[in-house]
Amino acid sequence: MSTPFPFTAVVGQDDLRLALLLNAVSPAVGGVLVRGEKGTAKSTAVRALSVLLPAVPVVSGCRFSCDPARPDPACPDGPHEPGAGVERPARMVELPVGASEDRLVGALDIERALSEGVKAFEPGLLADAHRGILYVDEVNLLHDHLVDLLLDAAAMGASYVEREGVSVRHASKFLLVGTMNPEEGELRPQLLDRFGLTVEVAASREPDQRVEVVRRRLAYDDDPAGFAGRWAEEEASVRARIVAARELLPSVLLGDGALRQIAATCAAFEVDGMRADIVMARTATALAAWAGRTEVLAEDVRQAALLALPHRRRRNPFDAPGLDEDKLDETLEEFGGSDDEDPDPEGGPDGPGGGGRGRRGAAVGGARGGDTGARPEAGDSGEPQPSGGGGEQRPARAAEPFRTKVLSVPGLGEGTAGRRSRARTEHGRTTGARRPRGALTKLHLAATVQAAAPHQRARGRSGRGLVVRRDDLRQATREGREGNLVLFVVDASGSMAARQRMGAVKGAVLSLLLDAYQRRDKVGLVTFRGSAAEVALPPTSSVDAAAVRLESLPTGGRTPLAAGLLRAHDVLRVERLRDPARRALVVVVTDGRATGGPEPVALAGRAARLFAADGVASVVVDCESGPVRLGLAGQLAGELGGSAVTLDELRADSIAGLVRDVQGTSRRAA
């Protein structure tokens, strides 16, 4: 077994260490989500935590880690008699992003279950993580069906495996720890709320601290065991402090005054549901125990709010993370009801990780808009009209986003699970059966019985049993939804800025980005203006990054429509090599004019026909306005092999939007 990097040797990252230690003191806090850029010791700190956890008593020989003092009466390896057990180190189980459902929940031998009636069950990662840590690196990239299973297990404290009438259930209570890079996409709100605490981490900008990080890492890589030995005393001290805090925890008093502050804070920041109040109460209690106190103080409530609320007050991925600390302090003071002195924002519990969020939290949250979640205004709707498709205009402010009609790719795909277009998936409604290719995952019982029935006399069937062999097994084929690559091709020329249309256009694209986030798509952004086109954002899962690029998009100049289409076609070509199964939907946002370059109209037509030839699904958002309309966007849609929709029709609640769908052809549709 490799030697993990010592927890106490992690440089800086006080918030991260504190959040992990609080969960070690009180697993009821509910885990922690670590958000931050790559290379910030997220995974290192999480893996180091498991070494500090106290040993776990288990029933000898139980594969499901039953507590010998209170064994699970429904344990598949049971029943167990209460009594003495054996101790083993606390486990940290890693869930790979690409894990299968069987690997997560366990595998049931369907063949033996049908032919012999034996529940031959092989436990999965949820069983291994029981009474330990379940760690998911890049949790935001986890497939939706695995997220659903995690949510069920976290809510019920148990995992259920049910297939064709055969059922297995076992306890699964774990500390959920996830790390993610926000640039790669956000989490589903349901899973986000399951994390008790959240921490934003970033690399230090102080040269001395960065030097120390490099020095320690090089020393560890040269001699992991020797480096860990030099930190053994500090590790033992923190381990002993965790044990002492756990013993003190039941004695900590959470008074009515602290409870009132917690409730008032959650109400002031308008968080949904009551889970935030409960998590704050548990976190504040753990903070007091970690500090060696038996009473929760206002400073504990404040620190708990900074850890438990930021991820719960975001309404959509475009809201800035963090809390408005001035508002937090005002709320705590208003509902304090005690003579406690003002909490020290740089203080908090001492010891490893006890630095608190303090003013650093204000830098993360307040500087980016704090509680308002507002984006910087890069212009206003009263900007001057461009003249003759002239020079660059100031970036226009986006109009408020709205709920859009569903745009989908025709045909049946086989891409990554999502919520946009029809696809063959492992989850969804059953549409047929086939012979399994590899391991059997979803049995089609009727087709299996039908395949086995003609051979019963030859197999010497006796009694009422049905002799089923491996060749008879049939895999259920299912149809669900997939995520797509939604590539936005946005006209930023001077004609789009006329009549102050760019604000409405940005609002429409922002609405489509929100829709892409909810449907688990990848997004990309190509813009064209002046004499050229550029890839403003290569395809990514981060719609937040796309929204930022869109907000600062300038306008002006001529309309090189052909250049924009050709650049988009090149982006799709590269993405098709990277991910052949993910189908694309091209959304061209323009008024249809083509004025840039030689023979602009003819070149634009030829470029559009490339998409039709490749069978790429497309839709043109027609931004033309005014009493005289040329209908150029509709002509462009015809060349693309797609359809056109106006800004008004894009709204889901518009009359036209209710009855129109994206139409097109797709040679690559199965």
What are the backbone dihedrals phi and psi of residue 404, each rounded to the nearest 5 degrees, phi first?
-95, 160
Residue carrying structure tokens 């020095």: 215
Tell me which of 636 and 651 has the higher pLDDT.
Answer: 636
**Cβ-based burial of 138 (10 A; exposed 0-12, middle 13-18, buried ≥19):** middle
The share of the chain scoring above pLDDT 70, in percent, equals 83
Cα 610 to Cα 487, 488, 562: the distances in Å are 15, 17, 11
Query: Around 209, how many Cα atoms within 13 Å sit in the side-chain half-sphere?
Result: 10
User: DSSP string covering 564-609, please?
Assistant: HHHHHHHHHHHHHHH-TTS-EEEEEEE-----SSSSHHHHHHHHHH
Choose, from 216, 275, 461, 478, the residue flagged as catalytic. 275
pLDDT at residue 406 in the model: 87
pLDDT band at 100 (very low <50, low <70, confident <90, very high): confident
Residue 315 lies in a domain: no
Tokens read off for 610: 């490339």
Specify the range with the lowest mean pLDDT, choosing from 196-210, 315-329, 447-461, 628-642: 315-329
My answer on whether 443 and 488 are in the same domain is: no
> Which of 421, 360, 324, 312 is CA-nearest to residue 661?
421
SS3 430: strand
Q: Name residues whose C-beta falls within 8 Å of residue 274's C-beta, 6 or more positions apart in sequence.
A: none
**Is residue 508 a part of any domain in this protein?**
yes
What's the total number of domains in the chain?
3
Q: What pLDDT, in 10s, does the model give residues 273-331?
A: 888 999 999 999 999 999 999 999 999 999 999 999 988 876 566 666 677 888 888 98
- Is 470 in the same domain as 536? no
**Residue 608 in domain:** yes
Q: What is residue 324's predicted lDDT score, i.e. its pLDDT?
A: 81
Has residue 261 been placed in a domain?
Answer: no
Shared domain for 473 and 546, answered yes or no, is no
| 70 and 157 co-located in one domain | yes
Q: Does 514 share its domain with 429? A: no
| 484 has pLDDT over 80 | yes
In a domain, 565, yes or no: yes
**Is the residue at 337 inside a domain?**
no
Confidence label for 345 from pLDDT (cuts 50, 70 and 90): very low
Range of the domain at 100: 7-206
Report the distance separating Cα 154 and Cα 10, nearest Å: 29
Query: What are the tens digits of pLDDT across the range 27-56?
Result: 889 889 988 877 777 888 888 888 888 888
pLDDT for res 164: 57
Of 175-179, 374-378, 633-637, which gets the smallest average pLDDT?
Answer: 374-378
- Counting every residue written for the chain, the total comes to 670
Whether residue 460 is contained in a domain is answered as yes
* pLDDT (0 to 100) of residue 299: 92
Same domain? For 491 and 471 the reply is: no
Least confident of 3-12, 365-374, 542-551: 365-374
Once rounded to an integer, what is the mean pLDDT over residues 250-266? 93
Measured at the CA of 606, the angle between CA 601 and CA 609, to 5 degrees, comes to: 125
Q: Are residues 572 and 446 in the same domain?
A: no
Compute CA 179 distance to the chain's CA centroid, rounded to the nearest angstrom. 10
Q: Which of 81-85, 157-161, 257-261, 565-569 has the lowest mean pLDDT?
A: 81-85
Mean pLDDT of 168-173: 87
- Of 621 and 464, the structure prediction assigns the larger pLDDT to 621
Rounded average pLDDT over 80-88: 84
465 and 582 in a common domain: no
Could you tell me the pLDDT band of residue 507, with boundaries at 50, 70 and 90?
confident
Question: Which residue has better confidence, 364 or 57?
Answer: 57
**Mean of pLDDT over the chain:** 81
| Residue position matching structure tokens 């029943």 | 79
Q: What confidence category does residue 143 fall into, taking pLDDT thresholds of 50, 70 and 90?
A: confident
Check whether residue 559 and residue 463 sit in a common domain: no
The reported pLDDT for the residue numbered 547 is 84
The amino acid at residue 588 is: V
Tell me the mean pLDDT in the region 541-556. Answer: 82
Pairing of strands 429-434, 475-482: antiparallel
- When mean pLDDT is compared across 71-80, 128-137, 648-657, the lowest value belongs to 648-657
Average pLDDT over residues 106-133: 76
Kindly state whether residues 531 and 471 are assigned to the same domain: no
Domain boundary among 480, 502, 522: 480
Task: Return the pLDDT at 457.
Answer: 78
- In angstroms, what CA-CA distances link 253 with 107, 241, 274, 301, 342? 45, 19, 21, 13, 20
Residue 275 lies inside a defined structural domain of this protein:
no
Q: Left, alpha or beta for 409 (phi > 0: left; psi -120 to 50: alpha)?
A: beta
With b for 16 or more beta-carbon neighbours within 10 A and e for fewer, the 410-419 pattern comes to bbbbebbbbb
Give the end of a domain, one of 206, 234, 260: 206
Choice between 345 and 287, residue whose per-residue pLDDT is larger: 287
pLDDT of residue 348: 45
Using the predicted structure, report yes or no on whether residue 351 has a pLDDT greater than 70.
no
CATH of the domain at 176: 3.40.50.300
The per-residue pLDDT for 393 is 59
- Shared-domain flag, residues 42 and 183: yes
pTM here is 0.68
Q: Which two tokens stand for residue 383?
A: 């900007």
Secondary structure E strands in 441-567 = 475-482, 485-491, 522-529, 532-540
Please report the pLDDT score of residue 105 as a whole number. 86
Kindly report, residue by residue over 182-238, the tens digit of the pLDDT: 777 777 777 788 888 999 888 888 888 889 989 999 999 999 999 999 999 999 999
pLDDT at 447 over 60: yes
**CATH label of the domain that carries residue 545:** 3.40.50.410
Q: What angle do CA 482, 485, 490 make, to 5 degrees?
A: 145
Of 480, 503, 528, the residue that ends a domain is: 480
Strands 158-163 and 166-171, bridge-based pairing: antiparallel
154's CB contacts (< 8 A; 6+ apart) are: 174, 176, 194
Is residue 339 predicted with pLDDT exceeding 60? no
Whether 447 and 592 map to the same domain: the answer is: no
Instruction: Judge whether 313 counts as a catalytic residue.
Output: no
